[in-house]
């Protein structure tokens, strides 16, 4: 609807467009009310209004039922809000322009985040209309990297609940708590315990910003209906001393509860969710610490419809970037030697999916494993190391112990270097130069986020490799122009390419258990959307402006895979899956308001609880 340049215009220009779009004269900011309303709405001082005076005013309308100043005269009269709004009628497109004006007036990305979250509270349709008008501009605000700062400041930014807060002390009552959520037909949940938020560590209850942001992208990037999505924080305490001492902290003020009590909470949560919303309800685990992430994934993956985005979503988007890069290097994945800076859930998830992709090329599993090396906080993972976890032990090879990353890179001579340890600047200039010295086209993925945790910047990579580096990052970077005049548009390996489409496909066909093949299929679909022109520009991912189309293609492919493997639970199988899935997609356009669609005051007050 709006070009990417729209949001960068001056406020004056946008204001002029706003006035023009309303077809108003600059000196007259009102639209006259018809002298004679339609017969069924005619009132007089002696007649009763056509609607019950008990109907709630606009104050009590949920955000999904508010059209704001786009309400027609008839709707305003039916809803008993005529006179509570200015007499001007503004279309949704003009309302978007108003938001853009205010958005550009903000002085920081955190202020922009708060502005958009406030809009989501007031007018859900308009919020998603704004996001989809320029997803490339707004995604870094509602999600990485700004969401990291928003989580750190969550106590200050909190206005009203947008999710369910379940604590360790609520054991035995989770089923009852789920009933307090106003929506009954929940099809997707994003849940975190806040222990490993992005690269920022333990943020406790402040981690709620992650599920809220993820589910906003479910809708903006994938078309999931927001009323069918539920963000959840499992607050078991925090080991972050700064938060425990902070008087503004809004979570439990004690150390993290672990062990059996923690396990019991998770078991009860999973059982309560499936009991209330069904076995087809998708549960996405997000930002759990390594020790719990793999354990819970292995525990629940064959019992519930669940996946871990940090392990499997990150793996899919990274492998998608590698598959696209192969079209530049013109060889197979199994021809590469891959070194990971980091050996946590992201690295292990990517490595396991790379092995699956190599096996699909025809490489035996053990041969594929030999091509993957990992570095953790203690150095290169080798056979001689003791106390390795089962997951790390798989990638331990015969080699001398080494600790310095620069030395390791020179010794291993990888063709692919992937950073997922959230150590900002880990890829030094020397490392980048070395990668370029023994590779014609080194593949360098600095995937940690937020931006402050990126292993290197796009500019550093392109400059140190003399423009030969094939680069992708977890956080967005601006285009880079080298002295030669060539401009690169670095690709952002954002999980938003993965989880919205996977979720849309899973819930559309009623998949109950999500296999690893789903994520390899997703990676292949994403890579296929990268054109030759994109590759020439330095992009390893399709432009974000196309992300809804990419998500739809992923959903269709997931649905095809599910029905062909007879793992779907929704039958009959749609003859035209794309048309069927499109029919499920959320529309950001205003609907004609139905008078009976709002909530009554006592119900609305529940929604308003916590509104400051």
Report pLDDT digits (tens) over 568-600: 999 999 999 999 999 999 999 998 755 444 443
Q: What is the pLDDT of residues 209-267, one digit of tens each?
A: 999 999 999 999 999 999 999 999 999 999 999 999 998 899 999 999 999 999 999 99
Is there a contact between 423 and 455 (Cβ–Cβ < 8 Å)? Answer: yes
Model confidence band, residue 9 (pLDDT cutoffs 50, 70, 90): very low
* Res. 65 pLDDT band, cuts 50 70 90: low
| Residue in this structure with the two tokens 């952002």, named with its chain if needed | 492
| Average pLDDT of the residues in 15-26 | 44
Rounded average pLDDT over 373-379: 95
pLDDT above 90 for 502: yes
Q: Which of 113, 128, 143, 277 is catalytic?
A: 143
Alpha carbon separation from 396 to 369, 372, 386, 422 (Å, rounded): 9, 9, 11, 21
Q: 214, 371, 553, 557: which one is catalytic?
A: 214
* pLDDT above 90 (res 312): yes
Tell me: is residue 196 an annotated ligand-binding position.
yes
- pLDDT at residue number 309: 95
> What is the tens place of the pLDDT at every residue in 179-191?
999 999 999 999 9
450, 425 Cβ separation under 8 angstroms = no
Structure confidence at residue 612 as a pLDDT band (50, 70, 90):
very low
Give me the DSSP letters along 532-560: HHHHHTT-SS--GGGHHHHHHHHHHHHHH
**Does the annotation flag 310 for ligand binding?**
yes
Assess contact for 543 and 224: CB atoms under 8 A. Answer: no
Instruction: Answer yes or no: is pLDDT of 567 > 70.
Output: yes
Which residues lie closer than 8 Å to 176 by C-beta, 6 or more apart? none
Is 214 in the active site?
A: yes
Mean per-residue pLDDT, 546-550: 95
pLDDT score recorded for residue 99: 95
The confidence score (pLDDT) of residue 48 equals 38
Among residues of the chain, what percentage have pLDDT more than 90? 75
Average confidence (pLDDT) over 376-390? 91
Tell whether 242 is in a known binding site: no
Q: Pairing between strand 470-473 and 379-380? A: unpaired
Tens digits of residue pLDDT in 407-424: 999 999 999 999 999 999
The answer to whether 34 touches 73, Cβ cutoff 8 Å, is yes
What does the buried/exposed string (b/e) look like for 461-493 if buried means 16 or more CB atoms within 10 Å of the residue's CB? Answer: bbbbbebebbbbbbbbbeebeeeeeeebbbbbb
Task: Write down the pLDDT at residue 160.
Answer: 77
Q: What is the pLDDT of residue 193?
A: 98
Question: Residue 276 burial by CB count (10 A; 0-12/13-18/19+): exposed, middle or buried?
Answer: middle
pLDDT grade, residue 158 (50/70/90)? Answer: confident
Q: What span, in angstroms and rounded, lies between the C-alpha atoms of 10 and 526?
A: 35
Q: How many CB atoms lie within 10 A of CB 102?
A: 16
User: Of residues 284 and 145, which shows the higher confidence score?
Assistant: 284
Annotated ligand binding at 449? The verdict is yes
CB 509 within 8 A of CB 581: no
Residues 497 and 550 sit within 8 Å (Cβ to Cβ): yes
pTM, two decimals, is: 0.85
Task: Based on the residue annotation, tell me whether 590 is a catalytic residue of this protein.
Answer: no
Question: What per-residue confidence (pLDDT) applies to 63?
Answer: 63
> Average per-residue pLDDT in the chain?
87
């Amino acid at each position: 609807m709006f070009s990417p340049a729209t949001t960068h215009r001056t406020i004056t220009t946008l204001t002029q467009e706003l006035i023009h779009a309303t077809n108003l004269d600059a000196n007259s900011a009102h639209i006259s009310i018809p002298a004679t309303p339609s017969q069924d709405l005619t009132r007089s001082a002696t007649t009763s209004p056509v609607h019950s005076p008990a109907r709630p005013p606009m104050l009590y309308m949920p955000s999904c039922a508010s059209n704001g100043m786009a309400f027609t005269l008839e709707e305003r009269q039916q809803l008993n809000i005529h006179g509570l709004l200015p007499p001007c009628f503004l279309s949704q497109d003009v309302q978007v322009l108003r938001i853009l004006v205010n958005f550009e007036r903000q002085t920081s990305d955190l202020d922009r985040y708060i502005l958009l979250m406030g809009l989501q509270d007031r007018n859900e349709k308009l919020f998603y209309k704004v996001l989809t008008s320029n997803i490339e501009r707004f995604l870094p605000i509602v999600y990485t990297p700004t969401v990291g700062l928003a989580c750190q400041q969550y106590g200050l930014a909190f206005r009203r609940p947008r999710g369910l807060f379940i604590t360790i002390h609520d054991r035995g009552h989770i089923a009852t708590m789920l009933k307090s959520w106003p929506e009954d037909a929940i099809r997707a949940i994003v849940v975190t315990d806040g222990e490993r938020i992005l690269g920022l560590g333990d943020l406790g209850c402040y981690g709620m910003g992650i599920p809220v942001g993820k589910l906003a992208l479910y809708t903006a990037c994938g078309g999931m209906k927001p009323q069918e999505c539920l963000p959840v924080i499992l607050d078991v305490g925090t080991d972050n001393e700064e938060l425990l001492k902070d008087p503004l902290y809004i979570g439990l003020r004690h150390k993290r509860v672990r062990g059996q009590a923690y396990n019991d909470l998770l078991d009860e949560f999973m059982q309560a969710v499936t009991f209330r919303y069904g076995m087809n309800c998708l549960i996405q685990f997000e930002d759990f610490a390594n020790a719990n992430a793999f354990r819970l994934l292995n525990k629940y993956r064959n019992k519930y419809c669940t996946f871990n985005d940090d392990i499997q979503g990150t793996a899919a988007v990274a492998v998608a970037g590698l598959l696209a890069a192969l079209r530049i290097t013109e060889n197979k994945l199994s021809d590469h030697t891959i070194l990971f800076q980091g050996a946590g859930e992201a690295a292990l998830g990517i490595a396991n999916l790379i092995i699956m992709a190599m096996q699909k090329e025809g490489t035996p599993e053990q041969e594929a494993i030999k091509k993957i090396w990992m570095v953790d906080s203690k150095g290169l993972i080798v056979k001689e190391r003791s106390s390795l976890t089962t997951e790390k032990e798989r990638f331990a090879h015969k080699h001398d112990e080494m600790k310095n990353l620069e030395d390791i890179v020179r010794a291993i001579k990888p063709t692919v270097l992937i950073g997922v340890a959230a150590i900002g600047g880990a890829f030094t200039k020397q490392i980048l130069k070395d990668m370029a010295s023994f590779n014609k086209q080194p593949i360098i993925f600095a995937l940690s986020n937020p931006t402050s945790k990126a292993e290197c910047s796009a500019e550093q990579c392109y400059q140190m490799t003399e423009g030969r580096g094939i680069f992708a990052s977890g956080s967005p970077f601006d285009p880079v122009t080298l002295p030669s005049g060539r401009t690169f548009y670095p690709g952002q390996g954002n999980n938003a390419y993965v989880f919205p489409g996977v979720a849309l496909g899973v819930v559309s066909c009623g998949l109950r258990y999500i296999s690893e093949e789903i994520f390899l299929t997703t990676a292949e679909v994403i890579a296929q959307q990268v054109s030759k022109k994109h590759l020439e520009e330095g992009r390893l991912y399709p432009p974000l402006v196309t992300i809804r189309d990419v998500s739809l293609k992923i959903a269709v492919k997931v649905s095809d895979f599910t029905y062909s493997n007879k793992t779907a639970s929704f039958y009959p199988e749609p003859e035209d899956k794309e048309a069927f899935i499109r029919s499920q997609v959320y529309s950001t356009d205003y609907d004609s308001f139905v008078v009976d669609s709002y909530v009554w005051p006592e119900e609305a007050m529940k929604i308003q609880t916590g509104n400051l």
